[in-house]
Structure 1
Amino acid sequence: MTTRTVGFDLDQTLVDSTERIVESFRSAFHTMRIADVQPTAFTPWFGYPLEEILQRVAPGTDPAEFVPLYRRAYDEERPGEAGPMPGARDALEWLRDNGFRTVVVSAKHHPVVDVALVDAGLRDLVDAYYGDHFGEQKAIPLREEDAASYVGDHVADMHAASLAGVLGIAVVSGAHDTRALREAGAVSVIPNLAALPATIERLLD
């Protein structure tokens, strides 16, 4: 690891925003008089762009009508919890205390990344953040920030890490298991962020 910048995905990696995402979807659906969708329907699609999740759980729904309603719910009403994932704050504090920069690169709408980090109590530990980047697009800011590694829970995160030429560190806190994350290019798979400091130290060696 030649630089001191570590990149992170947001949802289900640093922030547990499951409840807020689901409740914001359901709020918008209620306004649009769309039949309710069970929370389990969302699970496989966390980490994808908003419009793609919408088509997966409610095919044919007009995104032009849905998105403003969702944004109002998520940004202003803030239904449900959006807290830190286990070990997130301790891991970020360790990185700060050991001279690392931290950068968040997320598929979430750019202004909402800040909302999520603030509500999770992590914004003070993040040096920079980028929204509106999914899959291979995440490689662009990772290169610009000269990141050494990227931590995420999604196979697309590992693909982005490989494309950017950085080390992919996967957390099994999302929809993908160890095997899928390894096959996607993860150099290390950890159970939660409490294991990140030791992993970073090992990779430095």
Structure 2
Amino acid sequence: MCRDGYCVGFDLDLTLADTRTAIAAVYAALAAETGVAIDTEAVVGRIGPPLEEELAYWFPAGRIAAMAARYRALYADVAVPVTALMPGARDALAHVRADGGRVVIVSGKNQADTERTVRFLGLDADVVVGGLFGVDKGVVLREHRALAYVGDHTGDVDAARAASATAVAVATGAFAAAELTAYGADVVLPDLLAFPGWLGGFRVPR
């Protein structure tokens, strides 16, 4: 539990983990199996919201549950091995720890694949929770008393707001810095390489 000292929350996809190639590979496999033409570049440009929302672009409502199950069945073998760290990811977590903080990762990816991805990348987290998006992430962040939540999506700004935490946005996903600022992020960084500098000036209650 992130109750000793302070806690910082992090999103996973396109914040800590570069899953663009990974997710595209799973959709390419689905396209090959089903014969449905899927624009993987468009898919990658929308990473963030729940899986079922993306599948709805490509499959009728009656097939979405089955396609979601197949996607998750493929993910461990197809996606995880080609997942990479986002620049500065491991160092960002290390700086939280060096400053006396703890780390909670809250992702929209399902729990099993969130855990697999975190383990594969060797990310050092105290709490790992998957299957949540937007304000629903705020429940976990509030439970663990996160003072800030770091993410690349406007939904991550919503998550921070729901937890009364500082919304730290990184412009490494679908949204440019100006869009994240306009949406209401408290802080916008170009990437996690800038995170240690920001953390150094963050006023943490002691």
Shared fold (TM-score, shorter chain, > 0.5)? yes
Q: Do 1:172 and 1:192's aligned partners in 2 also have CA atoms closer than 8 Å?
A: yes
Question: Which residue number corresponds to residue 188 of structure 1?
Answer: 187
Structure 2 unaligned blocks of 5 or more: none
Q: Do 1:24 and 1:79's aligned partners in 2 also have CA atoms closer than 8 Å?
A: no
Runs of 4+ in 1 over 4 A off after TM superposition: none
- Map 1:1-205; keep pairs closer than 5 Å: 4-35=6-37, 37-56=38-57, 58-60=58-60, 62-78=63-79, 81-122=82-123, 125-204=124-203
Question: SS of 1:176's equivalent?
Answer: coil
Question: SS of 1:170's equivalent?
Answer: strand
- Distance in 2 between residues matched to 1:28 and 1:115, nearest whole Å: 20
Q: Do 1:6 and 1:149's aligned partners in 2 also have CA atoms closer than 8 Å?
A: yes
Deviation at 1:139, TM superposition (A): 0.6
Cα deviations across residues 62-86 of structure 1 (Å, max 9, x unaligned)? 1222122211211234476101100
Q: Do 2:149 and 2:160's aligned partners in 1 also have CA atoms closer than 8 Å?
A: yes
Question: SS of 1:132's equivalent?
Answer: coil
CA RMSD of aligned residues (A): 1.6
- Distance in 2 between residues matched to 1:29 and 1:79, nearest whole Å: 19
Deviation at 1:52, TM superposition (A): 0.4
Q: Do 1:170 and 1:181's aligned partners in 2 also have CA atoms closer than 8 Å?
A: yes
- Give me the TM-score of the superposition, normalised by structure 2: 0.90
- Distance in 1 between residues matched to 2:9 and 2:65, nearest whole Å: 31
Relative distance call for 1:196 and 1:153 in structure 2 (3 A) is: same
Return the letter of the residue paired with 1:137.
Answer: D
Q: Do 2:139 and 2:163's aligned partners in 1 also have CA atoms closer than 8 Å?
A: yes
Cα deviations across residues 164-195 of structure 1 (Å, max 9, x unaligned)? 10000000000001122112221111111111
Q: Do 1:84 and 1:121's aligned partners in 2 also have CA atoms closer than 8 Å?
A: no
- Distance in 1 between residues matched to 2:49 and 2:135, nearest whole Å: 12
Q: Do 1:14 and 1:85's aligned partners in 2 also have CA atoms closer than 8 Å?
A: yes
Q: Do 1:83 and 1:119's aligned partners in 2 also have CA atoms closer than 8 Å?
A: no
Deviation at 1:103, TM superposition (A): 0.3
Aligned residues: 199
Cα deviations across residues 136-170 of structure 1 (Å, max 9, x unaligned)? 10110000000000000001101111121000000
Cα deviations across residues 102-145 of structure 1 (Å, max 9, x unaligned)? 001111101110111122221xx111011111111011000000
Percent of aligned pairs sharing the same letter? 35
